[in-house]
Amino acid sequence: MKPVKMFITSWCPYCKQALGWMKELQGENPKYTDVDVKIIDEEKEPEIAQKYDYYYVPTYFIGDTKIHEGIPSKEIVKEVFEKSIH
């Protein structure tokens, strides 16, 4: 299982939506609760955010590979979990 980095801002409505889907998916599939998701608020941790190449939030990385950037869907969030597991 590979850890996930999720970049957000506190004021982003899409970030809140993605976080809600993450909780919903974890309720539907308990194996997703084992995925290590580090949530990084780019305004509170700019030194970490500056090391990654993205423009929009939320953005998901597994290792140094960008999995998704921008407006999410529940399916995209599920894909992030699946890519972390496999």
Provide the whole-model pTM: 0.95
pLDDT digits (tens, 9 = 90+) for 40-72: 999 999 999 999 999 999 999 999 999 999 999
- CA 39 to chain CA centroid, nearest Å: 7
Q: What is the mean pLDDT of residues 30-45?
A: 97
pLDDT at 66: 98
Total domains, the chain: 1
Q: Residue 78 is part of a domain; what is its CATH number?
A: 3.40.30.10
Averaged pLDDT, 9-38: 97
For residue 23, what are its two tokens? Answer: 């909780």
Beta carbons of 59 and 52 less than 8 angstroms apart: yes
Q: What is the pLDDT of residue 45?
A: 97
- Domain hosting residue 48, numbered range: 4-85
| DSSP letter assigned to residue 15 | H
